[in-house]
Structures are given as C-alpha cells and as structure tokens.
Amino acid sequence: SIGAALGMSVASDYKKEFDRQHIAVIGDGSMTAGMSFEALNQAGALRNNMIVVLNDNCMSIDPNVGALKEYLTDITTSRTYNKVRDELWNVLGKLSKFGPNPQQIARKVEAAMKATLLKQSNLFEALNFRYFGPVDGHDVQHLVAVLNDLKSIPGPKLLHCVTVKGKGYALAEKDQT
C-alpha cells in the first residue's frame, strides 16, 4: 500500500498537482515486509505529500494511549503549530551562514524531545516521516479531525493508530487469532 501511494504521489507531482494527498493504510504485520521499508525509505527521500496510516493491533505490554499522548498529537497536527514550526525552520535556515547549521541543531533537539516524551527512538522520523500518535484507532471522530489536520502539513507523515482486533464483537475480541 505504501509503494502504491508513493507511485500516485510521484504521478501527482509529475502532473504539477502538488496539493494532493495520498494515503496508504498498512497493518503492523505488513510493516515488517521489505517492500514496506523500501517504500518508506524512498518516500522519505522524495518528501512527497502522503500519509501512512499504521494500524497497530498487536498486543502491547504497556498501553500506548493516554491523555498526554492525545494532547501532544492534537498540538503537533494543528495548523498553528505547523505554521510556527515551518516559519521558525526557515529563519533557522537563513542563520546557517553565521556558523553551525541551526536547522541541524533544531532537528537534534526535536528528536531528543520526542524520544524523551515517547520513551523510544522513532524509526519513522529517521526515515524523514513526521510521526503522529499513537491515537485510538476506534475513535472515528478524532481520527477524522487528525487526518484533516495532517492534510495541511507538507511532506510524508505517519499516523500511528492503535486498535483491538475484533473490537465490538466479544468472541473476536476474546480470540484474536
């Protein structure tokens, strides 16, 4: 799905349709395939507008949901945050002629903050994808709001949705195999 969305994104760029967004939905099991990582790597290098929705339905030792993570997702997908971030990024780029590249320093600070807040390093950020989440994949209203916010952010983005297999059907929730 990621490779197909990337292909459509490249075609849109070729046709000068830069405002288009392309969405790929992929499960956590499929994310381990080599083709998925190849497509992520290429998409990150090209920096085309696309959203990858990662449906993470595996059993986790620690719950990945909580008010703080939802709050941070709401902030990082907001238009105001991203406008300020982009303007600051441009200013830092202009300052690079005065010494060490401030954008590189800012990128390292941002990565360190995210790693601290998420208590993990982020593979997707390393592949030049903006990472958002995790979010509750069963909260449709919140998902629609987040996806609408993500549309206005340029470049490749990954939305991490945590779901439960068979949600709402007791037999399926009980036996998720």
Q: Which single residue is written with the structure tokens 């470049």?
A: 155
Q: How many Å apart are CA 174 and CA 154, to the nearest integer?
A: 40
Domain ranges of the chain: 2-174
> What's the CATH code, domain 2-174?
3.40.50
Phi, psi dihedral angles at 102 (to 5 degrees): -60, -30
pTM of the model: 0.67
Q: Are 153 and 130 in contact (CB under 8 A)?
A: yes
Phi, psi dihedral angles at 115 (to 5 degrees): -65, -40
Residue type, 56: D
Residuewise pLDDT in 10s, the chain (177 residues): 999 999 999 999 999 998 888 999 998 777 767 788 889 889 988 988 899 999 988 643 344 445 545 555 665 666 776 777 777 777 777 776 666 666 666 666 666 555 555 545 567 887 889 999 889 999 999 999 999 999 989 899 999 998 887 777 777 667 766
